[in-house]
Chains A and B, each alone.
Chain A
Amino acid sequence: MHSLAVYRSAHRIALRDRTLQLLVLAAVVVITSTFGWLLLDIVWHGANRIGWEFLTAAPRSAGRNGGIAPILLATVLILTVALAVSAPLGLATAILLSEFSRPGGRAGYWIGLSLDILAGVPSIVFGLFGNAFFCVWLGLGFSILSGGLTLACMVLPILIRTAESGLRTVPNDWRLGAAALGISKASALVNVLIPAAAPALVAGLMLGIGRAMAETAALIFTSGYVDRMPASLLDSGRAISVHIYDLTMNVAGGDRSAYASALVLIALLILINGAASWLAERTLKRRITAS
């Protein structure tokens, strides 16, 4: 009797193990196949539309034909504005948090809290704010500047938090060493701490770029819809994600162009991430071997 009971429980355990294994495998198959489907679909529908002309021509008949050159330029300009504002601001705040604020200090606490709140605000709300503040209140109108500044507000928490944690991982030995030599915090930052944290800073920056580039909701009501070549930062410019949205939703027969634009966007994102990890690796290597 006894041996039978043992056998039974062993059998039950084997059954449970099998089931779990099967469920996990099934889940992985579902995920990978959906992902494969999604990716293949985008490549399949988008690839034949992409060519030199697509990247360099202006869109014609609402984007069904022609290319996306003005859209790419607008996207780059919006990103440039966003980063030109948020990167220095973010780095400075991160330095303040990691190097000058004492853990548990009041200023650090409040800044940290407001950052966490900011990180949780949905992007559409940034769009509302950007429209009310930059477009209307500051009178910038629907412009690349408004869109870029709105995105700057949006990616600020990401930049600050990644830069802060990057700086915090720099060994304290160097801070003490620099201080003991009578080196100012400013020089220590410029010469030692920031270079040492560079991989993390770059990674954070790329994360921010990726987030900003994929953003649609915050841009529709700030940088606008105009798909023409922007001539200044005060012109409206259509970001690539807004272009995809417009083609998908508003343009009958625009799906092919939408897929092609989506493919371009994904390729750009992968390129940026690849460049980021390559850059991070390179700075890391250079730091250890030379310089």
Chain B
Amino acid sequence: MSPSARDARLLRWLAFAAGLASAVLILIVLFLMQESWPVIARYGLVHFVSARGWHPTEGTFNLVPMLAASAATSALAIALATPLGVAAAIFSRFYAAGIVGRLLHWVIVLLAGIPSVVLGLWGLTVIVPLILKVAPPGTSLLAGSLILALMILPTIALTTEAALASLPSAYGIGAAALGLSREAIIINIAIPATKASIFAGVMLASARALGETMAVLMVSGNVVQLPKSLFDPVRTLTANIALEMAYATGDHRASLFVSGLALTAVVLALAAVARRSGGQVVHA
């Protein structure tokens, strides 16, 4: 076979494969739609925010408490993880000399690699009993947020680290030549210059937090309610799917697909915001 013919054949294969890969997305969207359509058709979209509560056996499917729980756990987790993550990046970039900085970097990479179900296990056996001593039942919004914070911290730390590393070193030298202290450089130059990247990292971390299922399911109690305090048990959208998918049928099952669609929409919106602010996806 001549080289040109070989290339033509290669291209056909590649196009086929790429088509298949993209078809996966269309397939997912189609199936989510198809599976959730019956319940949307019967109750209308408004039902999912206005119904009396989440009582699948009584035919009421209000997603608001779950949406609120997802938002609350993720927001709290972000609030906890952002300063810690940024601080870790600053430390390994500006404070730690050589080996210590690299060590911290590896700790964070390792932390990023810990499966969420292991974090859930640890949360349920260590964090939840601690919270239980303060205010029962222990499985709570707070526990969920703490575990989520631990989970997304590496994302924030690594994106910030990458952003700081990409700053031209002339910045630092120039600032040092002006007699600025290390702290002044961090506050006045490094952070402002990497603001956009840090923000993008936070958005990506939020998307991860919202999409996380098992760790949250294991530690947050799964009661469908609008949380009034940190110690209230909550059920997130993801946990709702995981918890009820096992046995849901009919409209109940369809309403879980609606939650899936809602969740995907929110996560994609966050990812789009991250992309727009120039974030690079760090697969960690």
**A-B residue pair count with CB separations less than 8 angstroms:** 249
* Bound complex: CA A125 to CA B238 (Å): 8
Chain A 1-25 near chain B by CB (<8 Å), digits 1 or 0: 0000000000001001100110111
Kindly identify, within residues 125 to 161 of chain A, every residue whose CB is under 8 Å from any CB belonging to chain B.
125-129, 131-133, 137, 153, 156, 158, 160-161
Q: Chain A residue with minimal CB distance to B20?
A: A89
* Bound complex: CA A93 to CA B14 (Å): 6
Could you tell me if A28 and B104 are in contact, using CB atoms closer than 8 angstroms?
A: yes
**Given A20-B186, A89-B17, A249-B218: A207 in contact with B4 (beta carbons within 8 A):** no
Could you tell me if B18 and A187 are in contact, using CB atoms closer than 8 angstroms?
A: no
Chain A 252-291 near chain B by CB (<8 Å), digits 1 or 0: 0001001100100110011001000000000000000000
Chain B 92-107 near chain A by CB (<8 Å), digits 1 or 0: 0001000000001001
Residues of the A chain whose Cβ atoms lie less than 8 Å from the Cβ of B114: 38, 214, 266
Looking at the assembled complex, report how far the CB atom of B112 sits from the nearest CB atom of chain A, in whole angstroms.
Answer: 10
Tell me if A120 is interfacial: C-beta within 8 Å of chain B. Answer: yes
Could you tell me if B214 and A28 are in contact, using CB atoms closer than 8 angstroms?
A: no
Looking at the assembled complex, report how far the CB atom of A86 sits from the nearest CB atom of chain B, in whole angstroms.
Answer: 9
* Bound complex: CA A95 to CA B246 (Å): 39
Could you tell me if A187 and B6 are in contact, using CB atoms closer than 8 angstroms?
A: yes
Could you tell me if A124 and B84 are in contact, using CB atoms closer than 8 angstroms?
A: no
Residues of the A chain whose Cβ atoms lie less than 8 Å from the Cβ of B228: none
Could you tell me if B118 and A118 are in contact, using CB atoms closer than 8 angstroms?
A: no
Kindly identify, within residues 158 to 199 of chain B, every residue whose CB is under 8 Å from any CB belonging to chain A.
181-184, 186-187
Tell me if B49 is interfacial: C-beta within 8 Å of chain A. Answer: no
Could you tell me if A120 and B268 are in contact, using CB atoms closer than 8 angstroms?
A: yes
Chain A 23-60 near chain B by CB (<8 Å), digits 1 or 0: 11111101110110110011001000000000000000
Tell me if A205 is interfacial: C-beta within 8 Å of chain B. Answer: no
Chain B 108-126 near chain A by CB (<8 Å), digits 1 or 0: 1011011111111110111
Looking at the assembled complex, report how far the CB atom of B235 sits from the nearest CB atom of chain A, in whole angstroms.
Answer: 13
Tell me if B234 is interfacial: C-beta within 8 Å of chain A. Answer: no
Could you tell me if B115 and A269 are in contact, using CB atoms closer than 8 angstroms?
A: yes
Residues of the B chain whose Cβ atoms lie less than 8 Å from the Cβ of A37: 126
* Bound complex: CA A216 to CA B248 (Å): 19
Residues of the B chain whose Cβ atoms lie less than 8 Å from the Cβ of A80: none
* SS of B interface (majority): helix
Checking A96, A124, A187 against B241 with a beta-carbon cut-off of 8 angstroms, the contacting residue is A124
With most chain A CB atoms within 10 A of its CB, the pick from B18, B35, B126, B271 is: B18
Looking at the assembled complex, report how far the CB atom of A23 sits from the nearest CB atom of chain B, in whole angstroms.
Answer: 7
Could you tell me if B213 and A41 are in contact, using CB atoms closer than 8 angstroms?
A: no
Chain B 12-52 near chain A by CB (<8 Å), digits 1 or 0: 01111110111011111001101100000000000000000
With most chain B CB atoms within 10 A of its CB, the pick from A221, A262, A269 is: A262
Q: Chain A residue with minimal CB distance to B83?
A: A27
Tell me if A65 is interfacial: C-beta within 8 Å of chain B. Answer: no
Kindly identify, within residues 97 to 131 of chain A, every residue whose CB is under 8 Å from any CB belonging to chain B.
97, 100, 107, 110-111, 114-129, 131
Stretch from A66-74, A167-175, A177-185, A192-200 at the B interface: A177-185
**Given A21-B183, A28-B88, A28-B104: A124 in contact with B242 (beta carbons within 8 A):** yes
Residues of the B chain whose Cβ atoms lie less than 8 Å from the Cβ of A31: 84, 88, 104, 107-108, 111, 153
The number of chain A residues with a CB under 8 A from chain B is 91
Could you tell me if A161 and B118 are in contact, using CB atoms closer than 8 angstroms?
A: no
Residues of the A chain whose Cβ atoms lie less than 8 Å from the Cβ of B26: 114
Could you tell me if B28 and A185 are in contact, using CB atoms closer than 8 angstroms?
A: no
Could you tell me if A124 and B25 are in contact, using CB atoms closer than 8 angstroms?
A: no
Could you tell me if B218 and A158 are in contact, using CB atoms closer than 8 angstroms?
A: no
Tell me if B276 is interfacial: C-beta within 8 Å of chain A. Answer: no
* Bound complex: CA A145 to CA B162 (Å): 38
Could you tell me if A248 and B124 are in contact, using CB atoms closer than 8 angstroms?
A: yes
Checking B4, B257, B268 against A184 with a beta-carbon cut-off of 8 angstroms, the contacting residue is B4
Could you tell me if A122 and B183 are in contact, using CB atoms closer than 8 angstroms?
A: no
Could you tell me if B17 and A132 are in contact, using CB atoms closer than 8 angstroms?
A: no
Could you tell me if B117 and A241 are in contact, using CB atoms closer than 8 angstroms?
A: yes
* Bound complex: CA A199 to CA B116 (Å): 27
Tell me if B79 is interfacial: C-beta within 8 Å of chain A. Answer: no
Tell me if B281 is interfacial: C-beta within 8 Å of chain A. Answer: yes
Residues of the A chain whose Cβ atoms lie less than 8 Å from the Cβ of B183: 16-17, 20-21
* Bound complex: CA A221 to CA B153 (Å): 28
Residues of the A chain whose Cβ atoms lie less than 8 Å from the Cβ of B263: 122, 124-125
**Given A122-B267, A220-B242: A262 in contact with B113 (beta carbons within 8 A):** no
17 further A-B contacts with Cβ under 8 Å, apart from A35-B110, A95-B14, A156-B21, are A31-B88, A38-B114, A38-B150, A92-B13, A114-B26, A116-B275, A120-B211, A120-B270, A124-B213, A124-B241, A129-B28, A183-B3, A187-B6, A244-B117, A244-B118, A248-B117, A262-B117
Identify the 10 closest CB pairs spanning chains A and B, nearest first: A122-B211, A214-B115, A184-B3, A92-B17, A27-B87, A17-B183, A217-B213, A120-B271, A96-B14, A114-B25
